[in-house]
Chain A
Amino acid sequence: MNRDNASILKNEETRFAIKWEQFFFSPANSLPLTIIRILAGIEMMFLWWSWSPDLQQWFGPNGLISQDLLQQWRGGWAFSIFDRTTTESSLWAAYGAGFVAFFMLTAGVATTGAAVAAIFFWISLLHRGPMLVGSADDVMTIVLFCLVIGPSGAQISVDRMIGWNRQELVSWRAGLALSLLKLHAVAITASSLLAQLRGDVWWDGTAAWWMVSRIESSLIDLTWISQSQYLINILTHAITVFEFVFIFGVWNKKMCPYVAGAALVCWPLIGLLAGEIPWGIAMAILSISFVRAHRISEVIHGMTGWKISRPNHLPTVL
C-alpha cells in the first residue's frame, strides 16, 4: 500500500515536472512577442510623452514632489535616476534618454539593450512619483520585463533588417517570455475580479453606472446608459463574466483562440467604460501572448501584404 502511494506520488511529481517544463521551456515563435514589443513600445512612448508638460512641475528643482516627501513615502529600497537630476537640464536629459530608449525598443534597434534601458528609466520614473502611478503603469512594467527576457527583436525589427540580430525565430526564451505574460495576464485578471467582487455594486449590477458617472475622468459621455437599468446591469455582469471566462478559458485549447480574440476587444472597452483606457489597452497587449503566431501572420498579411513565413524555411520577415 505504501509502495503504491509512493508510486502515485512519484507519478504526480513527474507529471507536474513535465507540465512545468512544457509550459515554461518549450520553444515558441517570437512573432507574438514581437507584436507585443511594437504595441507596448508605442503605448510606452505615449505614456512617457504625457509626462512632459508637467515634468518640471512635479520633479523639477522646485517640484511639487520633494525628496523629503519621497523619503517618507517609499522606504529605503527604491532607486530612481530622477533622484539625481537636481537641475532642469539634467531632468530633461534623463527624460529624453528614456524616450530614446522607448523609441529604440519600438523600432527594434539594439532591442535587448533598449528593453533593459527602457525598464530602467520606466521604473525610475515610477519611483520618482509613486503617488501618481496608475494601473496601466503597473501592467506595462510587467510587459517590459518579459520583453527583456524574450528575443523580442528577432522579427520585424531594425536589428533584423541590418543583420545585427540573427537569433532563431523560434526559441525557448520566446516561449518563457510568452508563458510569463500569460500567467501575469491571468493573475492580474483574477486579482482584479476578486477585488471587484468585494463590492456590492458588482453584485447588484450598478458598477457600470458608477464608472461612467465620473464625468470628469470619462473620455466620452456614456451617462445615457442610465436610461435603461437593464443595460447597466448587463454591462456590469458582462465585465465580471468576461473576466471569469478569461481566467479559465485561455487554458482550454478549443476556447483559447476565441477568448484571446475577445480579450483584444473587451479589455479596451472595459478601459473606456472605467475611464482607464491605457490600462485596457495594456491588458489587451498582455492578451496577445495567447494569440497563435500563424493567426498574427494572417492578420499582418491581410493588413499589409507582408508574408510571414515558416521560421525554418525563411529566417526573416523584413
Chain B
Amino acid sequence: MTIVRDASTERNEPLSQPMQPSEMVRAVVSLFLAVYFFGMVLCIAGNSSSGSSVLVRTIKTKLFSPWLYPLWLDLGFDYHLTYGSVGDADFSISATAIQDGEVQTLEYPSADMGSLRAARWRRMAKWMATSVEDPNRESALPSSIGSGMLKQRGVDEVSIAVIRNELFEPTDSRVTNRKNIISRDDVHVETVYSARMRLVSGEPQLIKNEVRRDVAPLVNPAKTNASESPREVKP
C-alpha cells in the first residue's frame, strides 16, 4: 500500500471556489469571531486569580458573561499547577455520623476511589476550606454537604471536618531518608474547618466549631501585666 501525500492542508495550495464560504457567510462569522475573541480575552483577564480592574470586570459581566457563562466559556484558563503554598496541598473531608450513640467515620476521598472521583472530592474539600474566607459562601457548602449526609445516612447528627495535608520540603528527612514510598501515615494533617450538622425539630442546623488555630491563647492576667508575651504563658 502506498500513502498519498495529502497536500490539501497546505494553505498556499489553490483551492476550488465551491469549497469556500460566501462573502456574506465570511462577514457574519468574522463578526461573531471578533466579538467572541474580545470576550475571551476579557474572560481570561477577568477570571485571573491575580484580580482584574473594575472596568474589565464590569464589561465582562455586563456584556459577555450572560451568554458565555451558560455555555461554560466564561473561563480564565489560569492553570498554575502549583504555587507551593498551603492552598495547593491535598484536601479531604472527614465526616462522622452519630446515631443512637453509634459513631461511623467516613473519609472522602476514600482509599478505594479512582483518581477522577477522588479529585472531585478534593476539589470540594478545597472549596470548603477556601470558602471560610468568603462571608457570602462560608456556611453554604458545609450546610449543603451536611444536610445531604443527614438525609443519606438517616442520622440526627453529623460532624464534618476539612483536612489539609502538609506539604513536604524536598529536604525533609522523611523524604531524604526514606527507602520506600511515603505512606499516608507519614503525612501530618491540619483541620482547617470543622462543623456539626444536626436536626433540630426536623430542621438542619449548622454549628461551626472553632478550629485550634482560630482559638485565642489562654492568658494569665497576672503574668500578662509583667509584660510577658501571651504565647509564652502556660495555662
Q: Footprint of B on A, CB under 8 Å?
A: 20-22, 24-29, 31-32, 47, 50, 53-54, 57, 62-66, 68-69, 72-73, 75, 77-79, 122-123, 126-127, 129, 131-135, 138, 141-142, 145, 168, 170-172, 176, 183, 187-188, 191-192, 194-196, 198-201, 206-207, 209-211, 213-217, 219, 221, 223, 226-227, 229, 232, 239, 270, 274-279, 292-294, 297-298, 301, 305, 307-313
Check if A216 sits within 8 Å of B6, measured CB to CB: no
Q: Which residues of A contact B11 (CB under 8 A)?
A: 22, 26
Q: Is the CB of A135 within 8 A of B79?
A: yes
Taken together as a complex, chains A and B put the C-alpha atoms of A57 and B153 apart, in Å, by: 11
Contact A47 B116 (CB under 8 A): yes
In the complex the two chains form, is B176's CB within 8 Å of A274's CB?
Answer: no
Stretch among B118-126, B210-218, B220-228 lining the A interface? B118-126
Closest Cβ–Cβ distance, residue B111 to chain A (whole Å): 10
Q: Determine if B44 is an interface residue (Cβ-Cβ < 8 Å).
A: yes
Q: Write out the residue numbers on chain A whose beta carbons fall within 8 Å of the beta carbon of B143.
A: 69
- Which of chain B's residues has its CB closest to A53's CB? B117
Q: Which of B8, B11, B73, B175 has the most chain A CB within a 10 Å cutoff?
A: B8
Q: How far is the CA of A62 from the CA of B78 in the complex (A)?
A: 34
B71, CB-defined interface residue at 8 Å = yes
Partner-contacting stretch, out of B52-60, B97-105, B179-187: B179-187
Residues of B near any A CB (own CB < 8 A): 1-9, 11, 15, 19-21, 26, 29-30, 33, 37, 40, 44, 48-50, 65-66, 69-73, 75-84, 88-90, 92, 109, 113-120, 122-124, 127, 136-137, 140-141, 143-145, 147-149, 151-152, 165, 167-168, 170-171, 175-176, 178, 181-182, 184, 187
How long is the Cα–Cα vector from A309 to B6 in the complex, in angstroms?
A: 7
Q: What is the CA–CA distance of A77 and B66 in the complex, to the nearest angstrom?
A: 6
Partner of B148, one of A64, A168, A187, A196: A64
Closest residue to A138 on the B side, CB-wise?
A: B75
Query: Are B65 and A77 in contact, with the CB atoms below 8 A?
Result: yes
23 A-B contact pairs sorted by A residue (CB < 8 Å): A20-B30, A27-B20, A64-B145, A65-B148, A131-B124, A132-B123, A133-B123, A134-B123, A142-B73, A187-B44, A194-B78, A196-B81, A207-B82, A210-B83, A210-B88, A211-B82, A214-B88, A215-B181, A223-B175, A274-B81, A292-B6, A301-B1, A307-B2
The docked-state distance in angstroms from the alpha carbon of A275 to that of B20 is 43
Set of chain B residues within 8 Å of A28, measured between Cβ atoms:
8-9
Residue contact A279 to B79, C-beta cutoff 8 Å: yes
- A213 CB → nearest B CB, Å: 5
Q: Chain B residues near A20 (CB, 8 Å)?
A: 30
Q: How far is the CA of A198 from the CA of B50 in the complex (A)?
A: 8
Question: B residues within 8 A CB of A172?
Answer: 19-21
A50 touches B116 (CB 8 A): yes
With a cutoff of 8 Å between Cβ atoms, the chain B residues found around residue A313 in the complex are 4
Give the complex CA separation of A182 and B7 in angstroms: 19
Which single member of B33, B83, B115, B119 contacts A201 (CB below 8 Å)? B83
- Do residues A229 and B170 form an inter-chain contact, with CB atoms below 8 A? yes
Report chain A residues within 8 Å CB of B114: 50
Q: What CA separation (Å) do A216 and B91 show in the bound complex?
A: 9
A170 to B81, CA, bound (A): 38
In angstroms, Cα B75 to Cα A270, docked, is: 21
